[in-house]
Amino acid sequence: MSNLAALPIILPLLAGIVVAFIHKKTKIVRILSQVISVVNLIAVAWVFLQVQQNGSIILETGGWAAPYGIILVGDLLSMTLVLTTNIIAVACVFFAPQSLSKHQEEYYFYSFFFLLVAGVSGAFLTGDLFNLFVFFEVLLMASYGLIVLGNGKVQLRESIKYVLINLFSSMLFVTTIAFLYSVVGTVNMAQIAVRVQEVEQQGILTTIGILFFFVFATKAAVFPLYYWLPRPYISPNPVVSALFGALLTKVGIYSILRTFTLMFNQDVQLTHTLFIYLAALTMLFGVIGALSTHNVKLIIAYNIIPAVGFMLMGIGIFSEVSISGTIYYLVHDMIIKGALFLLVGALVYVAGTSDLRKMGGLIHHHPVLGWMFFMASLVLAGIPPFSGFIGKLLLLRGGLAQDELMIVIVALISSLLILFSMIRIFIRGFWGEKTENPYPERKRKAAKMAWPVAILLSFSVLLGVGAEWFYPTIQSIAEYLMDPQIYIDSVLKE
C-alpha cells in the first residue's frame, strides 16, 4: 500500500475546494491556482519516476484488501497519462486569465478546473470498474460546470445536448456494470480479468464487451456516436474547449484500451475487427467534417475525431507495436489538441471572428502566433520529426505487419486531409496580403496568450525529436498491456 497513488487526485481536489472559498478575490485565486498546478505537476512527475523505477503503486483505500475494497492502481500507463494531463492543466491555468472574463473567473472557474483534473486523474488511476464510473461522473460534473460558464445563449443550448448525451451514456454504463456483475460477481478490474477466463459461455461476455465499447465510444466520439461532439466543444471559452478537447475524449479511449486489453480479449477476431472498421469510418467522417466548414473552432473540434480513429486503430490491430503506437499517439494528441484549441482561441481573439472567410494576413501582425500555428499543423498531421509522425509510424507499422492494408490506406489518406484542413486555416487566416490590423490593442494580450501554447508545443516537439528517449517507456507499457497477467498479479498478489 502506498498513498502516493492518491496524490494526483487529492491535490487538485483540495486546491479546488480551497479556491472555492475565496472565489471573489480573483488575483489571489489566479496566483494560487498557478502555483498549485505547478506544484502538482512536479509531484506527479516525481510519482511517475517512482513508478518507472519501482513498478506499479497500488493503494487499497480504507485498508480493504484488493478484490473487496476500492483500489487505485498507479501503473506506468496511468501515470504517463496523469503526467500529460497535468502538463496540459498547467498550460491552461496560465492561459486562463487572458481569455476569461472577470465574471467567469469569479464564477468558480478554477474550482471546476481542479475538479476536472482530479476526475480525469482518478479515471486514469482507478482499478475498479464502478469507481471508473464515479470518476467519469466527477469529471463530467466539472465539465458541466465549465461548459455553462458565461451563460451565453448558444452555450446553454449546446450544453443541454452535451449533458443529455453524457447522462444517457452514464446510465448505460451503470446498466452494463450490472450485467457484468451478474456474470462475474465482482467490479474489481483484476478479478474480472481472472474470472472472465473461467466463464463458460464466452458469448455473453462478448456482448457485454460490446456494450462497454458502446458506452466508452460515446464518450470518446467513435464513428456512429461522434455527432454530439463538435458543437458543444466550441461554444464555451477557448480554455474550456482546450481542456475538453485534450482530456475528455482521451479518457474514453483510455477506458477502451484498458478494458479491451485487460478484460475483454477472448474474442479478438470479432471485437477488434469491429474496431478496425469503426476506426476507418471515424477517421474519414471526422476529416470530412473538418473540411466542410469555415469556422476555425469547428475545424479543430472536428479534428478530434480522426485522432480518436487513429488510437482506436491501434487497439483494433492489437499487436505490441500498434498498442505502443496508440499510447504514443494518445500522449501526443492530448498535448497537441490542448495547444491547438488554445492557439485557435488566440486566433479568434486577435481576428475578432471565427469565420475563415473574414480573416487574412494576420501573420504580418502576429508572426509568433502564425508560425506556431503552422508548426502545430505539421505536428498534428504527422510530419517528421514531430511527435505525430512517430505515433503514426508505429500504428502503420503495426497495421502492415498484420496485413490490415485497408486501414493503413485510410489512415494515410486522412492524414493528408488533416494536413489540408489545417493548412487551409493557415493560408486563409494568417497568410495573404498585409491588411490593416483589426484590433491593434489586442497585440499585448495575444503575446501573453502565446507562451503557454509555446510550452505545450515544445513538449510536443520534444516528444518527436526525443522519441529515442521516450520509446523504451512506451514499449514497456505496451508489453505490460499485452500481458494482462502482470496487472492481475500486481493487484491481487497471490
Partner 1 sequence: MTRTNDIILRTTTTLIAFILLGFSIYLFFAGHNKPGGGFIGGLMTSAAFVLMYMAYGFRSLQKILPINFRFVIPVGLIIAVATGIGSFIFGEPFLSQTFAYFQLPVLGKTELATALLFDLGVYLTVIGVTMTIILTIANDRGEER
Partner 2 sequence: MEFIMAILAGILFTTGIYNLLQKQLLRIIIGTGLISHGAHLFILTMGELKTGKPPILTEGVENYTDPLPQALILTSIVISFGVTSLLLVLAYRASQVNGTDNMEQLRGNDYE
Q: Where on the chain is the footprint of partner 1 (CB under 8 A)? A: 1, 3, 6, 10, 13-14, 17-18, 20-21, 59-63, 72, 111
234 lies in the binding site for partner 2 (CB under 8 A): yes
Query: Which DSSP letter does residue 103 get?
Result: H
CA dist 161 and 257 (Å) reads 27
| DSSP output for 326-366 | HHHHHHHHHHHHHHHHHHHHHHHHHHS--BGGG---GGGT-
Q: Provide the b/e sequence for 372-401 (b: ≥16 CB within 10 Å).
A: bbbbbbbbbbbbeebbbbbbbbbbbbbbee
CA contacts within 13 A on the Cβ side of 132? 25
Question: d(Cα 326, Cα 323) in Å, to the nearest integer?
Answer: 5
Q: Which is nearer to partner 1, 115 or 305 (CB)?
A: 115
Residues 137-156 that bind partner 2 (CB under 8 A): 137, 140-141, 144, 148, 151-154, 156
Q: Are 84 and 44 contacting, i.e. CB atoms less than 8 angstroms apart?
A: no
* For partner 1, the closer CB: 13 or 290: 13
Q: At its nearest, how many Å lie between partner 2 and the CB of residue 130?
A: 6
Among 167, 199, 405, 409, binds partner 2 (CB under 8 A): 167
Instruction: Cell 487526485: give the residue.
Output: 9
Q: How far is the CB of 67 from partner 2 (least distance, A)?
A: 11
Nearer to partner 2, 141 or 419 (CB): 141
Closer by beta carbon to partner 2, 152 or else 432:
152
Q: Which stretch binds partner 2 (CB under 8 A): 157-165, 218-226, 411-419, 445-453?
A: 157-165
Among 107, 181, 227, 431, binds partner 2 (CB under 8 A): 181
* 405 contact, one of partner 2, partner 1, none, CB 5-8 Å limit per kind: none
Yes or no: say if 100 and 33 are a contact pair by the CB < 8 Å rule.
no
Q: Is the peptide bond before 385 cis (omega within 30 degrees of 0)?
A: yes
Q: Which does 62 bind (CB under 5 to 8 A by kind): partner 1, partner 2, none?
A: partner 1
Nearer to partner 2, 94 or 112 (CB): 112
Min CB(63)–partner 1 separation in Å: 5
**Which residue in 155, 284, 276 sits closest to 226, CA to CA?**
284
> Is 2 or 273 the residue whose CB approaches partner 1 more closely?
2
Among the listed residues 106, 103, 98, the one whose alpha carbon sits nearest the alpha carbon of residue 25: 106
Pairing mode, if any, of strands 57-60 and 71-74?
antiparallel
Instruction: Decide: is 15 part of the binding site for partner 2 (CB under 8 A).
Output: no
Cell numbers placing 40: 502538482
Please choose which of partner 1, partner 2, none residue 130 contacts, taking the beta carbon within 5 to 8 angstroms, the exact cut-off set by kind.
partner 2
Q: Interface with partner 2 includes 292 (CB under 8 A)? A: no
In the complex, the smallest distance separating the C-beta of residue 222 from partner 1, rounded to whole angstroms, is: 33
User: Total residues at the site for partner 2 (CB under 8 A)?
Assistant: 37
Residues 43-72 that bind partner 2 (CB under 8 A): none
The full DSSP string for 377-405 is HHHHHT-TTSHHHHHHHHHHHHHHHTT-H
Dihedral angle sign, alpha carbons of residues 221, 223, 224, 229: positive
338 to 367, contacts with partner 2 by CB under 8 A? 354
Shortest Å, Cβ 69 to partner 1: 9
Cis previous bond, 438, omega within 30: no
Question: Which residues in this chain contact partner 2 in the complex, by CB under 8 A?
Answer: 130, 133-134, 137, 140-141, 144, 148, 151-154, 156-160, 163-164, 167-168, 170-171, 174-175, 177-179, 181-182, 187, 231, 234-235, 295, 298, 354
